[in-house]
Structure 1
């Protein structure tokens, strides 16, 4: 590894992260579009048959959602830990604006969904679906706008989405856990304790952590807690420093090496594969009445309307009260545009929908319809507003 790369500044790491997430978001859009085409073509039957074929005790779809997505959650956990300790969330002054905006962007959409679904007990299980923001998709849209959006807003959106992911992880752990197996849960706790001890003892060999991480994943899968949360648990134990390192920003640290190694696999394979496997919804037999059901209406209202109100409203309160400042070179119209992009729920929304309603059935079909419609609407209106809000070039 070159010396200049090993001493890479956290801001450069964030720039690389934004670039990779943006490119990954564009690939994700293509995968989602392809899944819709396949699901509404003569290939629909083999597409769904392959996804539900069992291999090694789990369906292909479960291996993607419970297995590969654990690596996505591992990466999310690494990003949260790094940002909290040395990045854009390292101090309260840096956390307050995206933190308050993210909180509003989770609470208001959930409340709006509840209003639409309150008469349907089954539909109410999906209350957390519109809380999520898809960081890859949203940053991919910003990448299309290029220099029309100031860098400070891209950082704001990235940090807000990371906090949003943390909120989604907590919600999944608390509200979407099946019946617990306390034996498996105790085993998972023991493995997690060993991982924490290894960290405290200065062990930095990633192979040891990853091997125990596989055992942790299997035990969490058997415990009733969603298996992907094992990725977050493992991430919190990965060391952020090397033996004798003078700075936590050393790129040779296990956390930095693992994060860097996972980025491309997650951005360009795992997330697009998840999108291709989960976004496919057949429009056969659908009508306007389908869209007017509580689940799709609640999701569209939550993601498209609720995210705007929650993110922009809470950001305004934080700035008006003097607790935070508007991002550098950003206008309120641009903030509104970014708040709209937060309504692109996609990956995490579909993931929570699967936890709420299962992989099949009419409610999951309605969930896919609502998430796709709300995400597309948020992206299109957000792009239009951000293009209109861009400062005009002077001659």
Structure 2
């Protein structure tokens, strides 16, 4: 195939953006920039920038949100949409479609959510406005952790990576459920009802076999997301619900697709080669058929997941970090540990998360209800459990919703920052003590 100059630029770029360690690096750089700006002479300009409003209006309908809210309510809905797509694919067509494979990661996920939340509540005496932060310790930063796992290479068995993804995605979906149930107030029942009607339309489209991604996008964004945004229920919930309606099935089986493509390739070979710059009508017709059959052989869910993943990794999450990770560090670290909010978040993520994950995993393996994956030992389980305490993105996201007080918000973010750094360093060191996969067993 002839290579144009643009191909030499785009091919390395495509490989670059599909590298998970690079996605983690992009998130890290954005968070670092936000931290530097928030602790520099430009801190006021940094915070004021995200308060700039964007207004859209037609007649009496006015939609106004500042940049900070547009990122947290709009772009993060795309993130949760992709997360829900991944979970649906895994449960219906992936590793988790076999209940025996799903038991251990789901049990570990429950332990990794319940234990840190209880520890947070205990440190805050189970009373007062600080208790609203219990959901902060539930989530895990998938992009950061996957980036670290990619850098660790063969010391991380594929089964551990699969377990972590399941745990992280389940945590994220559970976090959205917590947002919907516990961090939502002043609900407009009329707009919620409109959102429910759009959800019914999306479900009906799925049942009728509609596979046009644009149609789902128009109803999902123009209808469901907008209605949820106006209802008072956090708009990220709309992202999860919309993802559940995207078709996961293919219209054409693999063998039938392979046979049809071979027939079309043979037909293309039999066509007369042209000297013109363009191909003949017959050849164009064959290529159109190849595209149509290729679309039928791939599910809409997979197409969406592949198309959106680079946008989430290199735009949505870095922008979120840039807008939300601007934590002003205190002059004295000793004062930080006096705050029960900060300590609750730190200990919840650094201790509660790994204890919950390990305890539930050990219990299920001990009683034969689940089993460790191929080439996985308890050293790997300890390492991934500690690394799961790196809750950065999700934890910051929930802290923004949990507290009305800016002071408590910043205390929580300090706890998140210290916990994420601690969990990241200790978890990485624990993995470095593990033998490479080919040497295990």
- Residue of structure 2 in register with 1:72 after alignment: 79
Structure 2 Cα separation of the partners of residues 266 and 100 of structure 1: 28
- Residue of structure 1 in register with 2:98 after alignment: 91
Structure 2 Cα separation of the partners of residues 346 and 291 of structure 1: 19
- What are the ranges of 5 or more consecutive residues in structure 1 without an aligned counterpart? 1-15
**Is the CA contact 1:334–1:390 (under 8 Å) kept in the aligned structure 2?**
no
1:306 is matched with which residue: 352, 368, 391? 352
Larger Cα Rg: Structure 1 or Structure 2? 2
**Is the CA contact 1:22–1:141 (under 8 Å) kept in the aligned structure 2?**
yes
Structure 1 Cα separation of the partners of residues 172 and 105 of structure 2: 12
- 1:274-331 per-residue CA deviation (whole Å, 9 max, x = no partner) reads 0111111112555412232011100111000001100111111111111111221122
Structure 2 Cα separation of the partners of residues 93 and 76 of structure 1: 22
Equivalent position SS for 1:221? helix
In the alignment, does 2:188 pair up with 1:143? no
**Is the CA contact 2:80–2:173 (under 8 Å) kept in the aligned structure 1?**
no
User: Aligned pair in 2 of structure 1 residues 152, 179: CA closer, same or farther (>3 Å)?
Assistant: same
Number of aligned residues: 376
In the alignment, does 2:224 pair up with 1:216? yes
Structure 2 Cα separation of the partners of residues 322 and 250 of structure 1: 41
User: Aligned pair in 2 of structure 1 residues 110, 71: CA closer, same or farther (>3 Å)?
Assistant: same
Structure 1 Cα separation of the partners of residues 436 and 336 of structure 2: 41
What's the RMSD between the two structures over aligned residues? 2.1
Structure 2 Cα separation of the partners of residues 152 and 23 of structure 1: 21
In the alignment, does 2:235 pair up with 1:227? yes
**Is the CA contact 2:81–2:242 (under 8 Å) kept in the aligned structure 1?**
yes
For normalisation by structure 1, the TM-score amounts to 0.91
**Is the CA contact 2:83–2:169 (under 8 Å) kept in the aligned structure 1?**
yes
Structure 2 Cα separation of the partners of residues 366 and 390 of structure 1: 38
TM alignment of 1:1-395, pairs within 5 A:
20-56=19-55, 57-118=64-125, 121-214=128-221, 215-242=223-250, 244-246=251-253, 252-285=298-331, 287-358=333-404, 361-390=406-435
Structure 2 Cα separation of the partners of residues 342 and 383 of structure 1: 11
- What are the ranges of 5 or more consecutive residues in structure 2 without an aligned counterpart? 1-14, 56-63, 255-294
Q: CA deviation at 1:22?
A: 3.8
Structure 2 Cα separation of the partners of residues 250 and 155 of structure 1: 27
Equivalent position SS for 1:127? helix
**Is the CA contact 1:20–1:263 (under 8 Å) kept in the aligned structure 2?**
no
User: Aligned pair in 2 of structure 1 residues 381, 188: CA closer, same or farther (>3 Å)?
Assistant: same
